[in-house]
Structure 1
Amino acid sequence: MKTKTIAAVLPLALALSACTTVEPAYKDIGARSGACIEGGPDSVAQKFYDLRLEQGSTTLPDSNRLAQLQPYLSQPLYQELLGANQKAAPQTGAGALFTGNAEGATSASVASASSIPNTDAKNIPLRVQLSYKKDGDSSAKEWQNEVLMVREGTCWVVDDIRYLNVPQHAASGTLRQVLEHD
């Protein structure tokens, strides 16, 4: 009698234990070697744009500036930028690489990621409101881009930038497409 009860309960117990096991949405979030910037995807993206604006250059970053940007960039994107740095600068105007506008940007504001419900997400696209205003000019050019943030290990990093409604004569497509074509 006891053996029959155990034999009947054991499969049921195993089935129930399988139902209560919680698996994350992803098993491997990749590895990251090197420095990591603290924060969620939106704060890391904002810090990236703040640093890029602080650097002030609209040219393709040299190796020193790329080294400063490395903690903010995915490993594949960083390698593509290093490769572009060793070749001639992309023809679209290097300011366009990170902003989509050949003149660059004078301000950037990254949208909050707080409304994204999936905390297990491996990649998150975020809108970035950009503007460019010349000194002494009363009007500013404004446009949006979308920055793709991905996880490498426990770090959020920039993996690509999609140029959305950029000003005329600016880059179109994505940052990676610009790097690929040059």
Structure 2
Amino acid sequence: MKNKLYALLPLALLIGACTRVEPAFKDIGTRSAPCVDGGPDQVAQAFYNLRLAQPVQGKPSPAQLAQYRPYLSERLFQVLTADRKAQAKLTALPAGDIFSSKAEGPTSADVSSASRILNTDAKNIPLRVDLSRSQGDDGQAAHWQDEVLMIREGACWVLDDVRYLGRASPAPAGTLRQTLEER
């Protein structure tokens, strides 16, 4: 009997070494859309860099939304591209930049670093964005902050909402999602 236990001990150790247990919080779902590599702050900065390179006033066109697709969450993308009801909501949006609290939109954007966020397993992270817009020839610039909510979909970080923090926001609600839902 004792010999059988000794014979099973190496086998039990071998099986135990081959077994790997993943914690539940690592299960972050899947994403069928393309991704942008990087952490939440890098993806948010890349999104704003794209927006600055190709400024858009009012609702984005289908071609522009296709470019934004790797940066946007499934839910936000669906709201922006969905049925006629959603299109009517988009038509009723303010004529300015819907991804910023200033109608004219920014000419520069600097996303705060996510390196100070202690929970590396977080599924959503709000990040402040310092925005500014040059005002003509006199060199004056308007400065404001907004906040982007970055969420994890699969292995990707994507933008899920924009909280308008600027004082003179043209949007009737505090966030992009609320603005789309209220209309």
- Shift of residue 169, structure 1, vs aligned partner: 4.8
Matches of 1:76 and 1:54, distance apart in 2: 25
Q: Distance in 2 between matches of 1:129 and 1:89?
A: 28
Which 4+ stretches in 1 moved above 6 angstroms?
Answer: none
Q: Please name the residue that 1:162 is paired with.
A: 163
Deviation of the 1:23 alpha carbon:
5.4
Give the secondary-structure state (helix, strand or coil) at the position aligned to 1:50: helix
Q: In structure 2, what is the equivalent of residue 118 of structure 1?
A: 119
Distance 2:27 2:58 in 1: 36
Maintained 8 Å contact 1:25/1:120? no
**Cross-structure match for 1:55:** 54
Separation in 2, partners of 1:79, 1:103:
25
The equivalent residue for 1:26 is 25
Rounded to whole Å, the distance in 2 between the matches of 1:132 and 1:25 is: 44
Match of 1:75 in 2: 74
Determine which of 93, 96, 104 is the counterpart of 2:95. Answer: 93
Larger mean Cα displacement after TM superposition, 40-49 or 54-63: 54-63
Runs of 5+ in structure 2 lacking a partner? 6-15
Report the secondary structure of 1:59's partner residue: coil
Q: CA offset at residue 62 of structure 1?
A: 0.3
The secondary structure found in structure 2 opposite 1:133 is strand
* TM-score, scaled relative to structure 2: 0.81
Q: TM-score, normalised by structure 1?
A: 0.81
CA contact (8 A) 1:46 1:110 kept: yes
- Contact (CA 8 Å) 1:99, 1:105: kept in 2 or not? yes
State the Cα distance separating 1:24 from its structure 2 match.
3.5
- Structure 1 residue aligned with 2:37: 38
Q: Hey, what's the Cα distance between the residues in 2 that align with 1:60 and 1:80? A: 12
d(CA) in 2 for partners of 1:141, 1:25: 45
What is the identity, as a one-letter code, of the residue corresponding to 2:168? Q
RMSD: 2.5
Give the distance between the partners of 1:175 and 1:145, measured in 2 at CA: 11
CA positional deviation for 1:85: 6.8
For 2:24 and 2:117, the matched residues in 1 are separated by 14
CA contact (8 A) 1:24 1:120 kept: no
Structure 1 contact 74–159 (Cα < 8 Å) conserved: yes
Distance 1:30-1:134 versus aligned 2 partners, 3 A rule: same
Q: Shift of residue 25 of structure 1?
A: 6.2
State the AA in 2 paired with 1:89.
T
Cα distance in 2 between the residues matched to 1:116 and 1:124: 8
Distance 1:169 1:148 in 2: 18
| Deviation by residue 1:89-125 (Cα, 9 ceiling, x = unmatched) | 2333341x20111111111100000111211111111
Look up the SS of the partner of 1:100 in the other structure: coil
- Asked whether the 8 Å contact 2:58–2:93 carries over to 1, the reply is no
Number of aligned residues: 167
